[in-house]
Amino acid sequence: WRRHAALAAAREDEEEKELRQRFMAPPVSGLRELRRRRRELRSRMELLIMETQAEMCRALAALDPGASFAVDSWERKEGGGGISCVLQDGEVFEKAGVNVSVVSGLLSEEAARQMRSRGKSLKAKDGKLPFCAMGVSSVIHPKNPHVPTMHFNYRYFEIEEADGTKQWWFGGGTDLTPTYLNEEDAVHFHKTLKEACDKHDLKLYPKYKKWCDDYFYIKHRGERRGIGGIFFDDLDSPSKEEVFQFVKSCAKAVVPCYIPIVKKHCHDSFTPEEKLWQQLRRGRYVEFNLLYDRGTKFGLLTPGSRIESILMSLPLTARWEYMHNPPESSKEAEILEVLRNPKDWVH
Q: Considering the domain boundaries, does residue 295 fall inside one?
A: yes
Give the pairing of strands 166-177 and 228-235.
antiparallel
pLDDT at 33: 86
Residue 212 burial by Cβ neighbours in a 10 Å radius (0-12, 13-18, 19+): buried
Q: Considering the domain boundaries, does residue 177 fall inside one?
A: yes
Q: Considering the domain boundaries, does residue 261 fall inside one?
A: yes
Residue 183 burial by Cβ neighbours in a 10 Å radius (0-12, 13-18, 19+): exposed
Q: Considering the domain boundaries, does residue 346 fall inside one?
A: no
Q: Considering the domain boundaries, does residue 276 fall inside one?
A: yes
pLDDT at 160: 80
Catalytic (active site) residue 151? yes
Q: Considering the domain boundaries, does residue 45 fall inside one?
A: yes
What would the DSSP string read from start to end of 161-184? -TTS-EEEEEEEEEEEE-SS--HH
Euclidean distance between CA atoms 165 and 182, whole angstroms: 48
pLDDT at 12: 64
Q: Considering the domain boundaries, does residue 347 fall inside one?
A: no
Whether the Cβ atoms of residue 155 and residue 135 lie closer than 8 Å to each other: yes
Euclidean distance between CA atoms 250 and 198, whole angstroms: 10
Residue span of the structural domain in which 173 resides: 1-340
Using a cut of 0.75, tell me whether the model's pTM lies above it. yes
Crossing angle, helix 254-265 and helix 240-252, to 10 degrees? 10
Q: Which of 141, 151, 190, 265 is catalytic?
A: 151
**Closest of 196, 213, 111 to residue 157, by C-alpha:** 111
Euclidean distance between CA atoms 341 and 347, whole angstroms: 16
Q: Which domain CATH number covers 147?
A: 3.40.1500.10
pLDDT tens track of the chain, all 347 residues?
777 766 766 666 666 666 667 899 999 988 888 888 888 899 999 999 999 999 999 999 999 988 899 999 999 888 999 999 999 999 999 999 999 999 988 877 677 677 766 766 666 666 678 888 999 999 999 999 999 999 999 999 988 877 777 889 999 999 999 999 999 999 999 999 999 999 999 999 999 999 999 999 999 999 999 999 999 999 999 999 999 999 999 999 999 999 999 999 999 999 999 999 999 999 999 999 999 998 888 788 777 778 888 898 999 999 999 999 999 999 999 999 999 999 999 98
Partners of residue 105 on adjacent β-strands: 131
**Closest of 26, 189, 2 to residue 102, by C-alpha:** 26
Q: Considering the domain boundaries, does residue 345 fall inside one?
A: no
**Domain count within the chain:** 1
Kind and range of the H or E element at 21? helix 2-22
